[in-house]
């Protein structure tokens, strides 16, 4: 019966190494000995999983704090504006009117961000910037035969965000989302006319 005898903590990869491995930021030459070690070391596998969980929570928390900070800074700015005298307000109002007229023009001028959704299992969903027009190309390869497909976009909670019918062209269907999407994870589902779910793609909007 083979039981590996080595128990010295000194020769396990360091926490720094395990964390870099967990974050996928290790060079090929560095990762090999770590991966060999992980083949037989339950302790270090558990450590890597802990680092995975910590990093995932850290990233999500930092992003949420950043978003909230930005929102708070806007509220504070508005409060300061309220204390400004009337003539200045008039000028500001004029500026706002100009802004209101300019924003739609700017949105139209902003080129849409192209997102390619492929029918291939991949490690992570494609990412797209938030609140920017999106040009989503959905891969329909292998689904030939239908005149049109129903497309639904739902958020992480399963709430419907967008629904429409698309016509395939050259194994793809292209959808333009003029208003873009807010931050979060989305699922793009392709249904046949009969209502059967044919495909589902993930999309991360950051």
Partner 1 sequence: MTRDAAEDARCGAGPRPNGAGSVNLAAGDYAALAALVERIRAGEEQALTELYAIFSKGIRFQLCRQLGPQELDDKVHDTFLIVVEAIRRGNLREPERLMGFVHTIVRRQVAGYIESAVNRRRNQADLEAAAPVADERSSPEAQAIARQKIELMKQVLREISSRDREILTRFYIYEQSQEQICREMKLTETQFRLLKSRAKARFGELGKKRLERRPLARFFLRASPGRRD
The distance of closest approach from Cβ of residue 98 to partner 1 in the complex, given in angstroms and rounded to an integer, is 35
Q: Of residues 130-169, which lie at the interface with partner 1 (CB under 8 A)?
A: 141-144, 156
Q: How far apart are CA 96 and CA 40, in angstroms?
A: 64
Query: Which of 12, 137, 155, 162 lies at the binding interface for partner 1 (CB under 8 A)?
Result: 12
Angle in degrees, CA 126, 104, 137, rounded to 5: 25
Q: Are strands 113-117 and 134-139 parallel, antiparallel or unpaired?
A: parallel
Query: Which of 5, 76, 100, 109 lies at the binding interface for partner 1 (CB under 8 A)?
Result: 5
Q: How far apart are CA 197 and CA 189, in angstroms?
A: 7
The distance of closest approach from Cβ of residue 104 to partner 1 in the complex, given in angstroms and rounded to an integer, is 32
Span interacting with partner 1, options 2-10, 90-98, 102-110, 159-167, rule CB under 8 A: 2-10
Residue 21 exposure: Cα atoms within 13 Å on the Cβ side: 24
Query: Which of 17, 37, 113, 135 lies at the binding interface for partner 1 (CB under 8 A)?
Result: 37
**Is 185 in contact with 108 (CB distance < 8 Å)?**
no
Q: How far apart are CA 34 and CA 18, in angstroms?
A: 8
The distance of closest approach from Cβ of residue 18 to partner 1 in the complex, given in angstroms and rounded to an integer, is 12
In three-state secondary structure terms, 204 is strand
CB nearer partner 1, residue 129 or residue 133 = 129
Residue among 118, 117, 108, 113 nearest 128 (CA): 113
Query: Which of 18, 26, 38, 151 lies at the binding interface for partner 1 (CB under 8 A)?
Result: 38
Q: Of residues 89-128, which lie at the interface with partner 1 (CB under 8 A)?
A: 118-121, 123, 125
Query: Which of 59, 131, 163, 167 lies at the binding interface for partner 1 (CB under 8 A)?
Result: 59
Residue 84 sits in the site that holds partner 1 (CB under 8 A): no
Angle in degrees, CA 38, 43, 49, rounded to 5: 75
In three-state secondary structure terms, 4 is coil
The site for partner 1 (CB under 8 A) is made up of: 1-8, 10-12, 15-16, 23, 25, 29, 32-33, 35-43, 45, 53-66, 118-121, 123, 125, 141-144, 156, 171, 187, 198-202
């Amino acid at each position: 019966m083979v039981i590996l005898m080595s128990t010295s903590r000194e020769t396990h990869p360091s926490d720094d190494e395990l964390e870099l491995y967990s974050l996928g930021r290790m060079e090929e030459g560095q990762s090999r000995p770590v991966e060999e070690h992980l083949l037989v070391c339950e302790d270090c596998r558990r450590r890597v999983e802990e680092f995975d969980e910590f990093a995932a929570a850290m990233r999500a928390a930092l992003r949420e704090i950043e978003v909230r900070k930005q929102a708070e800074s806007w509220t504070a700015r508005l409060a300061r504006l309220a204390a400004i005298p009337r003539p200045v307000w008039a000028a500001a109002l004029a500026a706002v009117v100009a802004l209101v007229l300019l924003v739609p023009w700017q949105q139209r001028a902003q080129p849409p961000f192209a997102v390619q959704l492929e029918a291939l299992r991949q490690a992570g969903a494609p990412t797209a910037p938030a609140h920017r027009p999106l040009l989503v190309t959905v891969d329909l390869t292998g689904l030939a035969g239908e005149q049109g497909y129903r497309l639904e976009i739902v958020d992480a909670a399963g709430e419907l965000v967008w629904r429409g019918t698309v016509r395939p062209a050259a194994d793809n269907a292209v959808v333009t989302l003029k208003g873009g999407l807010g931050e979060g994870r989305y699922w793009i589902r392709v249904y046949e006319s009969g209502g059967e779910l044919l495909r589902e793609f993930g999309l991360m909007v950051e």
